């Protein structure tokens, strides 16, 4: 891990709440490109519908869809299981549902972080009931040892230690999403 005061841009307003760099902006950029190449190969015959899980995956989704060299379609879904906390409540609430029909489609859920796996498990069941041809997951982060539900993830950006992290779309109370890198959060909620 890099120190907070590396050559990487960090907003001065956030420094007091941030710990170490868990994933640098360069590492994120390089890995998203790799994932885009792999998805392009895997879905060459049937471009997927990318389902972005808002709001945390918005930065990842934006970069990932540009790294995929196929005519992908996108839709957005918002779910809540954290509220203002730093641990999942385990109760999933659909805040915004999809606008498109999934029947017969290859669907790729684009998720920011998988920790307990409860939200993702719920989403898979919820979306799977809509009869997609395939339903896979591309997660930016997988937290080691946090899964309460076994997950089969087709694409994973990074496996990280079990820290609460912010940046690159990940937030605390809607703050820190605009940081380019991913940091441990050391501030107060």
* Domain contains 113: yes
Beta strands at 106-114 and 134-143: parallel, antiparallel or unpaired: parallel
CATH assignment at residue 147 = 3.40.50.2020
Amino acid 9: pLDDT: 57
Q: Which of 14, 13, 12 is nearest to 183 (CA)?
A: 14
Q: Is 76 helix (H, G, I), strand (E, B) or coil?
A: strand
* Domain contains 5: no
* Rounded Cα gap, residues 10 and 5, in angstroms: 8
Q: What is the pLDDT of residues 139-174, one digit of tens each?
A: 999 998 766 667 789 999 999 999 999 999 999 999
* Rounded Cα gap, residues 38 and 92, in angstroms: 30
* Domain contains 139: yes
* Domain contains 3: no
Catalytic residue among 30, 42, 115, 180: 115
The domain tally of the chain equals: 1
Q: Is 115 a catalytic residue?
A: yes
Assess contact for 146 and 115: CB atoms under 8 A: yes
* Domain contains 7: no
* Domain contains 94: yes
* Domain contains 1: no
* Domain contains 90: yes
Domain containing 169 equals: 12-185
| Phi-psi group of 145: left, alpha or beta (phi > 0 → left; psi -120 to 50 → alpha; rest → beta) | left
Q: What is the mean pLDDT for each group of 10 consecutive residues in the chain (189 residues)?
A: 46 86 96 98 98 96 98 94 56 89 97 90 95 98 79 93 94 93 91
């Amino acid at each position: 891990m890099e120190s907070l005061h590396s050559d990487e841009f960090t907003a001065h307003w956030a420094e007091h709440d941030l710990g170490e760099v868990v994933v640098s902006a360069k590492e994120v950029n390089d890995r998203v490109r790799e994932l885009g190449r792999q998805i392009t190969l895997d879905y060459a015959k049937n471009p997927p519908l990318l389902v972005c899980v808002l709001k945390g995956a918005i930065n990842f989704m934006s970069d990932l869809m540009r790294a995929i060299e196929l005519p992908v379609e996108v839709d957005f879904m918002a779910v809540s299981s954290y509220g203002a906390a730093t641990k999942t409540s385990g109760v999933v609430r659909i805040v915004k549902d999809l606008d498109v029909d999934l029947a017969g489609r290859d669907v790729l859920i684009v998720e920011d972080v998988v920790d307990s796996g409860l939200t993702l498990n719920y989403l898979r069941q919820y979306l799977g009931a809509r009869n997609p041809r395939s339903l896979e997951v591309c997660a930016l982060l997988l937290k080691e040892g946090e899964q309460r539900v076994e997950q089969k993830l087709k694409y994973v950006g990074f496996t990280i230690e079990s820290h609460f992290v912010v940046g690159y779309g990940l937030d605390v109370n809607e703050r820190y999403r605009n940081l380019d890198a991913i940091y441990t959060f050391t501030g107060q909620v």
